[in-house]
């Protein structure tokens, strides 16, 4: 019995000693409050399907830099299929990659995958008011060029400003600055469907190749660009005014045999422009004008020479919100007189065009645009030195946002 009691007392003492020991926490996982960099990556995108064949009066009326389904035997056309990968992967580093799976190398070669944007932002301060953008991105020239096609009302960008940079993008380094409150306002203009351009800073400066996106540099000269754009609220309205300019030398990409060219196909490429915006609350106006010097085909000398260019546009819009839906009737007039350096022989243009349409958004994921275009275009090169086309067409676009 004495041994039995001794065993019982020993067991109780051992249990007590175990209870007094601290708990083993080596196998307990404490949730981390910080995200991994890959958890900050987000995905969004949009797709646009168009039909331009209704009420077309002239099959020879075209716009190469606009929509390659203009003219000819129009049918359904996939204009854009964008997937966007982006994220603030650290407090001062942001990345953005946007391929398009509906790129068109010509009117007969459609639906190629191609990079549009691939860049990263490096912030210089805690609020990223000062930042560098490195990679292929939009060149900060012109409001409508900066504005995403996902947000723009007219189906194509206006010739006067879009002729400056094909696909609006190039490879380079850009510096942006905007106070934190202005960065919030830039974001608000997009989120509230006021057709903002996005955040390209109050001040933007850059150095870039100059041959435009997805093309190698063909000369030793770099383009430089500068832009100042200042948005502000006054009473119930929001305004934005800006100026921009760029300068460089451009190497002509394509020419007809026998056309006289400058030495090494090198041409001055310079522009300056102004922007004035009244955001639709509910009535709005978007206006831009630019002028400059660039390559342009001259049919009288059968040569591509440096010539002056000029032109602009004005868009009027009214924003009507009802029952969770949005209807935005609009009208745009544009004029352009000059060359298009990206096209064959730096094709010579004179454009006068009026568009009347409306965008209907029954919800944030779907948009429908119906637009009637009345156009008069002279576009001439060595292959077609006398080419003036006038015509009208009804254009329809369905867009899904995700």
Render pLDDT for 180-227 as a digit per residue (tens, 0 to 9). 999 999 999 999 999 999 999 999 999 999 999 999 999 999 999 999
Render pLDDT for 297-336 as a digit per residue (tens, 0 to 9). 999 999 999 999 999 999 999 999 999 999 999 999 999 9
- Distance, C-alpha 139 to centroid of its chain: 9
Length of the chain: 402
Dmax (CA) for the chain in angstroms is 127
Give 321's contacts (C-beta < 8 A, 6+ positions apart).
282
Looking at residue 32, its pLDDT comes to: 53
Render pLDDT for 97-148 as a digit per residue (tens, 0 to 9). 999 999 876 666 788 899 999 999 999 999 999 999 999 999 999 999 999 9
Q: How confident is the model at residue 8 (pLDDT cuts 50, 70, 90)?
A: very low
Contact yes or no for 59/83 (Cβ under 8 A): no
Contact yes or no for 68/346 (Cβ under 8 A): no
Note the pTM of the prediction, 2 decimals: 0.88
Contact yes or no for 296/338 (Cβ under 8 A): yes
Mean pLDDT for the stretch of residues 27-47: 75
Cis peptide before 282 (omega within 30 of 0): yes
Report the candidate in 209, 211, 239 with the shortest Cα–Cα distance to residue 143: 239
Alpha helices in 138-230 (DSSP H): 143-146, 159-162, 180-191
Mean pLDDT for the stretch of residues 339-345: 97
Domain annotation for the chain: domains and CATH numbers: 38-401 (2.40.160.10)
For residue 18, is pLDDT > 60?
Answer: no
Distance CA 298, CA 303 (A): 5
């Amino acid at each position: 019995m004495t041994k039995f009691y001794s065993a019982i007392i020993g067991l109780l003492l051992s249990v007590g000693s175990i209870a007094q020991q601290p708990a083993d926490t080596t196998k307990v996982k404490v949730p981390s409050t910080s995200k991994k960099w890959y958890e900050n990556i987000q995905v969004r995108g949009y797709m646009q399907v168009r039909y331009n064949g209704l009420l077309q009066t002239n099959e020879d009326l075209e716009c190469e830099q606009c929509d390659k389904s203009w003219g000819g035997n129009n049918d359904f056309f996939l204009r854009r299929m964008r997937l966007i990968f982006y994220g603030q992967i650290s407090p001062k580093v942001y990345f953005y990659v946007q391929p398009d799976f509906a790129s068109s190398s010509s009117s007969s070669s459609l639906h190629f995958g191609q990079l549009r944007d691939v860049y990263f932002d490096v912030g210089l301060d805690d609020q990223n008011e000062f930042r560098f953008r490195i990679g292929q991105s939009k060149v900060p020239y012109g409001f409508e060029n900066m504005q995403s096609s996902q947000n723009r009302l007219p189906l194509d960008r206006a010739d006067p400003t879009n002729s400056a940079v094909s696909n609006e993008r190039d490879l380079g380094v850009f510096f942006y600055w905007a106070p934190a409150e202005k960065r919030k306002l830039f974001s608000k203009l997009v989120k509230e469907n006021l057709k903002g351009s996005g955040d390209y800073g109050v001040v933007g400066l850059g150095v870039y190749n100059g041959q435009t996106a997805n093309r190698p540099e063909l000369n030793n000269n770099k383009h430089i660009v500068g832009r100042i754009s200042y948005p502000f609220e006054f009473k119930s309205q929001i305004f934005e005014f800006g100026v921009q300019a760029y300068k460089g030398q451009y190497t002509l990409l394509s020419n007809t045999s026998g056309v006289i060219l400058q030495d090494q196909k090198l041409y001055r490429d310079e522009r300056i422009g102004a922007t004035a915006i009244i955001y639709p609350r509910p009535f709005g106006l978007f206006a831009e004008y630019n002028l400059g010097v660039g390559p342009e085909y001259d049919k009288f000398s059968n040569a591509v020479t440096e010539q002056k260019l000029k032109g602009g546009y004005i868009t009027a819009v009214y924003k009507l919100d009802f029952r969770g839906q949005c209807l935005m009737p609009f009208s745009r007039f544009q004029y352009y007189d000059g060359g298009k350096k990206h096209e064959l022989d730096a094709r010579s243009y004179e454009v006068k065009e009026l568009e009347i349409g409306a965008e209907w958004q029954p919800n944030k994921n779907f948009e429908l645009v119906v637009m009637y275009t009345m156009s008069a275009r002279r576009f001439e090169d060595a292959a077609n030195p006398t080419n003036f086309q006038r015509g009208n067409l009804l254009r329809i676009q369905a867009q899904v946002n995700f």
